[in-house]
Structure 1
């Protein structure tokens, strides 16, 4: 008997798999690659919501847990995917400068906002009012993380990582275990992202996916070595190569890039930079978001062996490790997760 069956191998799924490994637990991961939001994500992590100058609940705790979590994976897999990189908030006016200073004086934000204006000059990116520097930021190359971790799982033991569609009709939930096509485990973890809408156990939950589109561009004239946040973000990922994003679309639930999304990004990019660039790729995915901007984790109200790890939204790289830990500890102790991130804040229909 395995300890866990894990459905989904995006950021949520591999975070729980790694948590199981850290606790010497056995598992099988089943992944059909139907959800691509983790793979196309920019991977930026930043503890501050710059639009509102607010600090999400427990952001510092999530960040402190995330850094060594990913470091252990990098060392074990001999791969690099977590890159520390400053995030600069581009100011458009003196008023925005003043708002930055006011925010930096707040005790909760003081550790994360550098209290002086940065006047660095970057070719192709005019910034007459300068920048504000966010501390303790970076990005995770999610494609490298996912590809290397999937390969690692495949090498652990036979049938530890199954690339196949999951059939809910063939899952049998018993009082003390679950079984699926001959696999018997104590618990099952659903980490399917937007795929939750096909899940008969959890489709009552108000996970409302948000479509995001981004561009991969080549801009040799843009000598940028930091991530810049303005109306969009620009993230340097390789020499002369940058990710640009992202859009937020609440009605289109397809992971298909659109001309409207591309045009929106191009218009904002042209307002931000004045150098030539070439669009190399146009990507789209559905973020698993909840209206209250908090994760969805916990145990099904009627089936104690069925659990959910979802709703990580735009902060998946930062929330995944700590939310997986909280869910694992809840399963181990039998105590429910905190209400602010738990399923109990929504009634089953």
Structure 2
């Protein structure tokens, strides 16, 4: 029987981040992933320290950047792939009032270091932006699809990946940990994203989920090299391809693309894009969003070595490494979890 320190269910941004914590501390893992959850793969992957609707700083952004970016750079070297595309985010202004609000926001605590006070004039003929842009600093894009593909290939090479659905009925809980089929493990981490609703151990958590649809377009005349935030994000991918997204749908909880989603994206895109383009791909996934918009991390109320790592929402590339380190330190070193992410906030005494 194979023995490992951690069974990890899910190989999206949460599962990969936690697996890395274990590996960096010389622990052993077996990861299960059946590709049923697509949110990490189809995500835009933008990391952006500013909430661009309200001109406020992202929750815990300084701590998140300090952990996430070194992790992705380390993985780039080890996996031999390009992951981090350091690119400024430009926030398109709709009025002089928005310009003033932006410059006022630059004086807010914890925000000024992420906002440039220089107004950027529009020089991209394919974009309608008469009032110019505000530039977000320390921003960029992680190629999440490349990350997941390369990481799973490495796990597979080392015999650490099972590309199959986790069969909950085959799990045996023992005094020292868990038995699952032909594997013994000390700890079990569920990092299943929206799929946690099928998990009998954690399916009562307040997971609401937000479906997001995105398009990939080909726009050879656009020649845009920044990440644009207008009524939606426009993200350069190279080779004149751009990712467009995303929608928010709270009732449809399938991974199927819809004509309604496509229409919404094209309608918004056409309010500011002034060059020809063709749609080459249409994607969808369910973001794992918790009721209070914070991650949900911690130990099962009954089984002491069983944990949840979930609820990364729309900012998984930054939040995943941060909460994974918190969870690992809680398990391995007894460090208290941040109360804002702790599962205890949803467990009745």
Q: Which residue of 2 aligns with 1:22?
A: 24
Instruction: Give the SS at the match of 1:39.
Output: helix
Residue aligned with 2:267, SS: helix
Task: Give the deviation of 1:239 after TM superposition.
Answer: 2.2
> Among 41, 54, 71, which residue is 1:52 paired with?
54
> C-alpha distance in 1, partners of 2:272/2:10?
37
Q: CA offsets, 1:46-102, max 9 Å, x none?
A: 011110112133111101111111111111111111110000000000110011011
Q: Distance between the aligned counterparts of 2:286 and 2:41, measured in 1?
A: 11
* Distance (whole Å) between structure 2 residues aligned to residue 348 and residue 194 of structure 1: 22
Q: What aligned pairs does 1:180-191 form with structure 2 within 5 A after superposition?
A: 180-191=180-191
In structure 2, the residue matched to 1:150 is 152
The CA deviation at 1:312 is 0.3
Cα deviation, 1:215-238, whole Å, max 9, x if unaligned, reads: 000001111000100111100001
Contact 1:123/1:223 (CA < 8 Å) preserved in 2? Answer: no
- Rounded to whole Å, the distance in 2 between the matches of 1:123 and 1:268 is 18
Asked whether the 8 Å contact 1:177–1:184 carries over to 2, the reply is yes
Distance in 1 separating the partners of 2:266 and 2:67: 36
Unaligned 5+ segments in structure 1 are none
Task: Kindly provide the CA deviation profile for residues 293-349 of structure 1, in whole angstroms up to 9, marking residues without a partner as x.
Answer: 110111111111100110000000111111111101111123441210010000269
Once residues 343 and 293 of structure 2 are traced to their aligned partners in structure 1, the CA distance between those partners, rounded to angstroms, is 14
Q: 1:8 aligns with which of 10, 14, 29?
A: 10
Conservation of the 8 A alpha-carbon contact between 1:4 and 1:186: yes
Range that drifts further, 173-182 or 243-252? 173-182
Contact 2:312–2:319 (CA under 8 A) maintained in structure 1:
yes
Q: Separation in 2 of the partners of 1:101 and 1:135?
A: 14
Q: Distance in 2 between matches of 1:11 and 1:57?
A: 18
How many equivalent residue pairs?
Answer: 347
Question: 1:240 and 1:59 mapped to 2: Cα distance?
Answer: 31
Aligned with 1:51: secondary structure?
Answer: coil
The Cα offsets for residues 166-216 of structure 1, whole Å up to 9 and x where unpaired, read as 111111112321110020010000000000001111111101110000100
Of 32, 43, 53, the match for 1:41: 43
Q: Which SS does the other structure have where 1:189 is aligned?
A: strand
Q: CA deviation at 1:107?
A: 2.4
Distance in 1 separating the partners of 2:176 and 2:337:
20
Task: Give the C-alpha shift of residue 11 in structure 1.
Answer: 0.7
Output aligned runs, 1:68-147, within 5 Å.
68-147=70-149
**TM-score where L is the length of structure 1:** 0.97
Distance 2:67 2:101 in 1: 30
Q: Is the 8 A contact 1:299 1:336 kept in 2?
A: no
- Contact kept, 8 Å, 1:204 with 1:348, in 2: the verdict is no
Is 2:301–2:347's contact at 8 Å kept on the other side of the alignment? Answer: no
Output the CA distance in 1 between the equivalents of 2:171 and 2:228: 46
SS of equivalent to 1:66: helix
CA distance in 2, matches of 1:175, 1:50: 49
Q: Secondary structure at the match of 2:237?
A: strand
Task: Supply the distance in 2 between the matched residues of 1:70 and 1:219 (Cα, whole angstroms).
Answer: 29
Give the TM-score taking structure 2 as reference length: 0.97
Counterpart CA distance in 2 for 1:49 and 1:114 is 14
